[in-house]
Structure 1
Amino acid sequence: MNRIEPMFMGGQLLFFSYRAENRDEDWRMYHAHQGCELLYVYEGAGTVTVESHTYPLKPGMLFLFQPYQLHQVEVPARIDGTYIRSNVTFDPLQVEGFLEPFPKLQAFLRKLWKGFLTRQVFDLSTDKRLPELFLEMESTRSQWDMPSKSEERALFLIAILHYLQKHVLQEEDSEPGVTEKTSGHAVQMVDWVESHFKEPFSLNRMAEACHLSPYHVSHLFKRVAGTTITEYLTLLRIREACALLAGTDKLVGDIAREVGQLGTPYFCQLFKKHKGVTPQTYRGMVRKTYER
């Protein structure tokens, strides 16, 4: 199989595929969609490329894909070879509302959704809790696999997010020396960047809004977020550009200006650096399969 496939959630909270199986055939999937996706591998051998980084695919691996990340899965055919995996793709915007009673988990969701992840590939071959959660989801699917059962689906997602927070990404979330006050400043800074990323960036304006010095803002942001403000700003702009390329007919130059008052040549160079393809190519890949 060789295709580019955009996945538009269409108002759905999640899509769940349990132990999908392919035997004795090449498997190649190239995705670009607006949901967060979890891919867990039971059997198979191949590679997964997340934009410009390639990782081995093997049993027990978990891959986390953020919205609009180009990711390619390749599993070559082998004699008696089988590729078995489970996928959960969910709309983080819808899930966020269900997490209002759980502020820490809501902050974790925002990190998966919009944050800078230093790791997106994990070896869970000795931990059976995630496949057990997937089995429970599948065994009770008839009780929640209806449009009116969004709360039941959300409960499964909450359980999965809690597992990821406590057992998969816990090292990243336990930065030593980060106090509650420091964490509060970090949330304030991230909120400011997310509210102003379409404007020309000013460190002094951001520092003034957060009641901190420019040096303190830069130092604290990188310490807590794991990336510089500039890198995070670029991540937001590229993600917004992907959404506009996929969902509108706006010209590339107009999109460059909309996501940060950027010049078209610079925007195209920046986009290709982060996505591996030009904006025009990205749009063509997504539209071609969507129309098909």
Structure 2
Amino acid sequence: MKVFSEPGVLSRSERFFSTPSATARRLFYYVTRVGHYYYDARYNFLDSCDIAHLESHKNLFLTYVRSGTMYFETDQLYCAERGQIGLVDCRRPHHFYTKGDAEALWIHFDGANAAAFFEQILAFRGGRQVLTPPADLRIEQELAQIISGLRTGDMTELDRSQRIYRILCALLFPAQSGPDRKNDAIAQAVKYIGEHLFESLSVEKVADAVSLSPSHFSRLFRSTTGFSPHEYIMLHRIDEAKALLQSTSLSVKEIAFRVGYRSEVNFITAFTEKTGTTPTRFRRNTL
């Protein structure tokens, strides 16, 4: 439907509401309102207004800026320009505004583990709530399809849920669809870790093997795999240990050294923490 009464939102803008079913609330990602807005300099949305207290607003907000600049005040001030995405938890203090003409596609959404996705996406990016996705991730197109589906009524809740999930995954791991050079570096790092698992491995050593600085390598590795390099090495060692526990008669101490631990105690502690059982019990239960 057309928007006629929101200051700073031009009349050619559209907004649609969606009330999720009980099934969607339990199992899916779902939208509660979506829009394609054209703004002018008067737009100034405060979380103290009546709209901000509606259930359809008090969830997660994602907007893709097609033109102009949008400003978001949460814990700090962010600005999203053309091609960028703003991601905001509207259950927390927030303020949106523009200083001139702008255009954006946006959705309010919730459900499933959406809040956990939100927190993890921000955690991977140092809390920054404005993101620049690679163009080939098709996030703009997914948002446009969701809005179109609400306009025509021919998109199911399941389809909307799947599109939201794809968007969240793309924001969580953008480097997986990024330039080949980045993916090649991480593929080389993973191969290097596998080939040197029994050695003393550090982030600096692996980064040097793929000709990246440790800080850049750590950021790139996390954004591509979802793990820090240290966590990946630990989990890979534990996976190798599981295989050896199940398929060999090597002692726990021998396996600890075989997968890169220099202390049997440290190995048992790490294995138990990550699997919920000791190496001995794991071996007994899988034989």
TM-score when normalising by structure 2:
0.40
Structure with more relative contact order (C-alpha pairs < 8 Å, separation 6 or more): 1
Larger Rg: 2
